[in-house]
């Protein structure tokens, strides 16, 4: 079967989809992967063929998102952003339709690919790294509800957030569908359309972290994390190897693809906390600018090191709690200090805390040196916390999320008629 797999966003968004695509290819399918050109090296390392997407550079997008979601009036700015954002360029939408042609199935984390696939008469499925369909088990991860309420309240939170994102897009999506010769999406939105059509959903996270809701339909599959280990042939630079061998295991510090509004201020807090606790650290650069000033001897600055390789040599990790970093920390059995910025990062950070794999999260807006010192001391010194994350790691490493997802896809694709 010729399958198009597509994903955009940060490195942590794209890498799991690449891992799944690689698993589908190893299962005998012909795979094409579509994403921005910036991720071409990642796609090539997986042995996949890249069909590049056009559109805005994901680094610019992340910068826009962070400016809209960090700060005292972040909620208001995000609300304005939702209702003022521009639809995708016509040529980008046309490119998606063209990418779908010649394939038998489309798996994508991008909502517009569902319409593009439908327009060329092929079935499609949804890839997601966090829950996207309503449930009464837990509130929506983007809601301000920090604990589970009653079944109706939890489910209502999902519908409310779903509509918050759908209504600003409703007019242009249906205009585009008319151009494609498709009927309009009902007022209830694309989520309802996917439920009505029983569209396959593959969720790339572990049921140990978020159990599969009992009220989800059979086409929604929580498969386990989709790991792609880039560390197999990693040869560390001599300076990094010497640093790791010259003292006790370090704390890893990495904020991935986030664009911090004050990277210099963030680094000052991090260095002050390390000085106060006496910990050694490896600081991983990401998409943020800054971090070019000299660091003390107990700190090593690295451009890129595979997290699975580095975390096996670390005692803790300070991170933003993106899905990719969070899952790698659990897999390695390393305690986290979560500093979420917004959105699903806050959701994953709260899950780490609930699972006993991290101290209480510190939102980036509330981060101080004193709070960081307290959380770091807890992560490296509390025996109970370290034992809990070790036990969780052992269970997680017995899962095979990619194999589970491939099996779910095989079963669904054998049953589903074309164009549905």
How distant, in Å, are the alpha carbons of 229, 305, 388 from that of 233? 10, 12, 30
Q: Is residue 63 part of a domain?
A: no
Residues 387 and 258 in one domain: yes
**Cα dihedral sign, 42-44-45-47:** positive
pLDDT for the residue numbered 12: 87
% residues pLDDT > 70 (the chain): 89
> At 63, is the pLDDT very low, low, confident or very high (cuts 50, 70, 90)?
low
Start-end of H helices in 2-73: 11-26, 40-45, 58-69
Cβ(158)–Cβ(192) under 8 Å? Answer: no
Q: Is residue 60 part of a domain?
A: no
> At 420, is the pLDDT very low, low, confident or very high (cuts 50, 70, 90)?
very low
> Bridge-partner residues for 32, per DSSP?
4, 49
pLDDT for the residue numbered 242: 97
pLDDT for the residue numbered 366: 94
User: Region 289-314: what's the mean pLDDT?
Assistant: 86
205-261 pLDDT per residue, tens: 999 999 999 999 999 999 999 999 865 678 899 999 999 999 999 999 999 877 788
Q: Is residue 79 part of a domain?
A: no
pLDDT for the residue numbered 84: 58
> At 58, is the pLDDT very low, low, confident or very high (cuts 50, 70, 90)?
low
| Pick from 15-19, 53-57, 70-74, 223-227: least confident | 70-74
Residue with tokens 């052992």: 394
pLDDT for the residue numbered 389: 97
For residue 137, the domain's CATH number is 3.40.50.2000
The structure tokens listed for 399 are: 């899962």
Residues 333 and 209 in one domain: no
% residues pLDDT > 90 (the chain): 75
Q: What order do you get walking across the sheet with 2-6 strand by strand?
A: 49-50, 30-34, 2-6, 105-108, 124-128, 200-203, 220-222
Q: Is residue 71 part of a domain?
A: no
> At 149, is the pLDDT very low, low, confident or very high (cuts 50, 70, 90)?
confident
Residue 360 lies in domain: 238-396
Residues 298 and 331 in one domain: yes
Residues 141 and 193 in one domain: yes
Statement: residue 141 has pLDDT above 50 = yes
Cβ(375)–Cβ(269) under 8 Å? Answer: no
User: Region 299-325: what's the mean pLDDT?
Assistant: 94
Residues 16 and 141 in one domain: yes
Mean pLDDT, the chain, integer: 90
Statement: residue 76 has pLDDT above 60 = no
Residues 410 and 390 in one domain: no
Statement: residue 83 has pLDDT above 60 = no
Statement: residue 85 has pLDDT above 90 = no
pLDDT for the residue numbered 418: 44
pLDDT for the residue numbered 405: 98
pLDDT for the residue numbered 261: 80
pLDDT for the residue numbered 194: 95
98-114 pLDDT per residue, tens: 999 999 999 999 999 99
> At 59, is the pLDDT very low, low, confident or very high (cuts 50, 70, 90)?
low
- The candidate with the shortest Cα–Cα distance to 260, out of 343, 364, 350, 363, is 364
Residues 263 and 186 in one domain: no
Residues 155 and 279 in one domain: no
In angstroms, the CA 179 to CA 253 distance is 48
**Cα dihedral sign, 320-324-327-331:** negative
In angstroms, the CA 282 to CA 91 distance is 43
Statement: residue 160 has pLDDT above 80 = yes
Residues 29 and 147 in one domain: yes
Q: Is residue 66 part of a domain?
A: no
pLDDT for the residue numbered 81: 52
User: Which H helix or E strand runs over 302?
Assistant: strand 299-302
pLDDT for the residue numbered 336: 98
Residues 298 and 325 in one domain: yes
Q: What order do you get walking across the sheet with 336-338 strand by strand?
A: 299-302, 281-284, 251-254, 316-319, 336-338
Specify the number of domains making up the chain: 2
Residues 198 and 252 in one domain: no
Residues 317 and 265 in one domain: yes
pLDDT for the residue numbered 65: 57
Residue 10 buriedness (CB in 10 A; 0-12 / 13-18 / 19+): buried
Q: Is residue 391 part of a domain?
A: yes
| Residue 55: how many other CB atoms lie within 10 Å | 15
> At 75, is the pLDDT very low, low, confident or very high (cuts 50, 70, 90)?
low
Q: Is residue 65 part of a domain?
A: no
Q: Is residue 143 part of a domain?
A: yes
């Amino acid at each position: 079967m010729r399958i198009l797999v597509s994903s955009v966003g940060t490195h942590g968004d794209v890498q799991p989809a690449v891992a799944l695509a690689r698993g589908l290819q190893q299962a005998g399918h012909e795979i094409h992967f579509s994403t921005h050109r910036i991720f071409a090296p990642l796609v090539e390392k997986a042995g996949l063929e890249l069909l590049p997407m056009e559109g805005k550079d994901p680094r610019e997008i992340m910068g826009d998102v962070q400016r809209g979601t960090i700060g005292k009036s972040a909620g208001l700015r995000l609300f304005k952003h939702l209702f003022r954002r521009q639809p995708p360029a016509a040529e980008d939408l046309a490119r998606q339709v063209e990418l779908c042609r010649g394939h038998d199935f489309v798996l994508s984390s991008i909502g517009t690919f569902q319409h593009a696939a439908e327009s060329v008469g092929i079935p499609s499925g949804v890839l997601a790294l966090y829950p996207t369909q309503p449930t009464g088990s837990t509130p929506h991860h983007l809601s301000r509800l920090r604990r589970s309420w009653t079944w109706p309240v939890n489910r209502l939170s999902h519908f409310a957030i779903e509509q918050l994102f759908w209504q600003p897009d409703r007019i242009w999506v249906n205009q585009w569908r008319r151009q494609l010769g498709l009927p309009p999406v009902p007022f209830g939105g694309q989520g309802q359309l996917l439920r009505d059509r029983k569209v396959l959903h593959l969720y790339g996270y572990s049921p140990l972290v978020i159990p599969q809701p009992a009220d989800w339909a059979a086409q929604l599959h929580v498969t386990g994390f989709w790991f792609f280990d880039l560390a197999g042939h990693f040869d560390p630079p001599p300076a990094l190897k010497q640093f790791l061998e010259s003292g006790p295991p370090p704390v890893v510090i990495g904020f991935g693809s986030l664009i911090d509004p004050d990277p210099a201020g963030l680094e000052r807090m991090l260095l002050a906390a390390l000085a106060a606790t006496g910990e050694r650290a490896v600081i991983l650069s990401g998409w943020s600018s800054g971090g070019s000033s000299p660091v003390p001897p107990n700190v090593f600055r690295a451009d890129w090191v595979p997290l699975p390789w580095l975390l096996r040599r670390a005692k803790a990790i300070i991170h933003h709690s993106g899905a990719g970093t969070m899952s790698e920390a659990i897999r390695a059995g390393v305690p986290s200090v979560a500093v979420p910025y917004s959105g699903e990062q806050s959701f994953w950070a709260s899950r780490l805390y609930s699972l006993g794999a991290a101290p209480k999260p510190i939102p980036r807006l509330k981060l101080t040196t004193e709070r960081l010192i307290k959380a770091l001391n807890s992560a490296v010194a509390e025996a109970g916390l370290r034992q809990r994350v070790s036990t969780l790691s052992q269970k997680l490493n017995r899962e095979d999320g990619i194999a589970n997802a491939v099996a779910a896809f095989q079963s669904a694709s054998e049953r589903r008629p074309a164009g549905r």
